[in-house]
Structure 1
């Protein structure tokens, strides 16, 4: 049996990080499997939105898992603001990172309690403002008891778009300097996606944002798009530059939209 390596907590506690992220010479493989990354090098500038694009299994989500320190590299290092993640106290590290993913974790309790899960000491006014920023307040106001409505295990009484907006509101309330969006609009309709995208634009201001998305229309305005294929960075530029380059990204864009780069 292959056993996952034990993650040993670091001792350095950090307060609010700026969000400069660096993957330096990173080798990584899951136990018993082929290498995902070999000598990966990637620097992500604080305060900017960087999108990660590539086929399933390319390594995009693994990058996020390394950043959250669910795993450590086999060699090389991952740093934030010059701190090697292995040296950091994991609680303080994760307090600096908010995650909005397609896997939304909600628990039995009220709508307000679920939003405040990101910050237990939040006031009702702060919870309401977070919901407003996430464009969740309108649907919350239609619920039988508003913020006090019980939503049940997993939020099964809510639609996928409603659950996602609560997840975004939770991230807003957490107010972390680093925001990870992992397929945040993958399971919603176009109208809901547009609303979520508007809220994410507001939420992203002043933060280091990493986006994983298969729908390229959702990341075309990113400051930078990094294309990963088989664990290797193959393209790295803006949307317009990548479309004009007629590489992997350009082909994906053409398939999804029917719009080709200028010949």
Structure 2
């Protein structure tokens, strides 16, 4: 992912930008984003973007304010662009809507890639993604869930999908540090001890990418089954829905 580019901007000649003396040229946020997405994430700096645009780095300050702000802006733009690709059905089973939304969110996190540290864990997209979130809530309430239940389900599914995306990125970088630490701890004790944990480590070390995709499927199956049971049991009105957070 380190050499990934998200798309190319107009060249300096095409955009009418030329480096010159005196007052910094005025450039737009859209121009900065197009230029930034043509740069590999690992090389994304103010100078690199300014070089693409053919301007002085100070010209970016109004929109960005520094390398950290630049990377956050690009991470958000990539994430939102990917989420906008998903088209949730206007009608259909709430379980299908939840699954499509969660899968799209997980995939969007993966596409953000090495810039994911600059995306807040709670961030679910800007104005461009509100339609998808609205559709999820609509599907849940139409199925019979109260608005608090729909809110709780949305939070749980969002956190689960985002966590699955981050785990998938970890898998692409190599061994999971948590699994490696557990494996090291097990090597310090007799092989006859903790057989189940050893089996978990073995499974985790096989085909991590496929395992992470299966993990989201498993998590969604459990979540949807729980929601279905809650819907069937017709909980008492006013029962609070706890805000669950998936550990990262």
TM-score by length of 2: 0.26
Greater per-residue strand proportion? 1
- Asked which structure has the greater RCO (Cα within 8 Å, sep 6+), the reply is 1
Larger Rg: 1 or 2? 2
Greater per-residue helix proportion? 2
TM-score by length of 1: 0.25
